[in-house]
């Protein structure tokens, strides 16, 4: 059975949601009003997902981020953000996703919990070395927000392929990409940097923490980013 912890200020909602989710094979192993209050449940039960209801009257976004960043990497859960009004905007701001409105019902919530758990499991398989090569690269690109919808993702993909082949960031990386695309090395570097900035905003905070540890908050320089991802692909995470 899939395990979750739940953060919501409404005791009644937490109880009813926990009971309803059991019918979907999802067990709530701990729930509380605020993020810091579920820490002991995460450390004890290692749930796959944390559901978190955002509020308009406080800064729970910051406390949720601090909670995740303070956990051992192996215990960082996937996150589903709830809240009909603020959830989409705050989820995008913090990179916490996916998000759902409470009014969408338990079925939709269960579906998003399962999706978050699957994404977490896929990333953990890469970090543990169980998945390697092209499959690992695909998973990391998805986790770090480098989907095809991001302009310039193809350049980043090529850079990561070259890094994986070399086992390190190769000298002349931008020059090689530029030659293949008929552009200048400076243009290739700039486009890759802008792509990584966009991807960093899209990537879930739990994915960034799992992949980059204490360096999750600020986007690394291009070479540092490629070096970290190359290390993960090589099983050095």
Where do the domains of the chain lie, and which CATH numbers do they carry?
2-127 (3.40.50.2300), 133-233 (1.10.10.10)
Query: Which of 6-15, 128-137, 142-151, 204-213 is the most confident on average?
Result: 6-15
For residue 36, pLDDT over 70 is answered with yes
For residue 147, count other CB atoms closer than 10 A to its CB.
11
Rounded to an integer, the average pLDDT of 79-103 is 64
pLDDT in tens, 93-131: 555 555 666 667 888 889 989 988 998 888 888 888 888
Is the model more confident about 60 or about 192?
Answer: 192
For the chain, first and last CA: distance in Å? Answer: 28
Cα–Cα dist 168/230, whole Å? 6
Q: Is 121 helix (H, G, I), strand (E, B) or coil?
A: helix
Is the model more confident about 234 or about 168?
Answer: 168
Question: Mean pLDDT for the chain?
Answer: 83
pLDDT at 141: 82
**Token pair recorded at residue 145:** 């927000």
Is the model more confident about 14 or about 141?
Answer: 14
pLDDT at 120: 86
For residue 200, count other CB atoms closer than 10 A to its CB.
19
pLDDT in tens, 38-61: 999 999 999 999 998 876 555 566
């Amino acid at each position: 059975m899939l395990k979750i912890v739940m953060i919501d200020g409404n005791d009644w909602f937490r109880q009813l949601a926990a009971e309803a989710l059991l019918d979907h094979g999802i067990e709530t192993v701990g729930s509380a009003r605020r993020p810091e209050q579920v820490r002991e449940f995460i450390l004890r039960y290692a749930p796959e997902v944390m559901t978190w209801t955002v509020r308009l009257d406080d800064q729970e976004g910051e406390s949720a981020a601090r909670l995740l960043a303070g956990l051992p990497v192996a215990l960082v859960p996937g996150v589903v953000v709830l809240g009909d009004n603020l959830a989409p905007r705050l989820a995008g701001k913090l990179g916490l996703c996916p998000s759902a409105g409470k009014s969408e019902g338990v079925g939709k919530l269960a579906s998003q919990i399962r999706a978050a758990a699957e994404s977490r499991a896929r990333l953990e398989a890469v970090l543990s070395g169980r998945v390697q090569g092209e499959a690992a690269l695909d998973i990391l690109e998805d986790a770090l927000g480098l989907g095809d919808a991001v302009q310039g993702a193809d350049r980043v993909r090529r850079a990561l392929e070259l890094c994986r082949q070399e086992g390190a960031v190769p000298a002349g990386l931008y020059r090689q990409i530029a030659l293949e695309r008929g552009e200048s090395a400076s243009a290739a570097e700039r486009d890759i940097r802008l792509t990584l900035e966009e991807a960093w905003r899209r990537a879930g905070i739990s994915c960034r923490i799992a992949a980059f540890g204490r360096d999750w908050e600020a986007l690394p320089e291009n070479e540092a980013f490629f070096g970290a991802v190359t290390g993960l692909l090589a099983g050095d995470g």
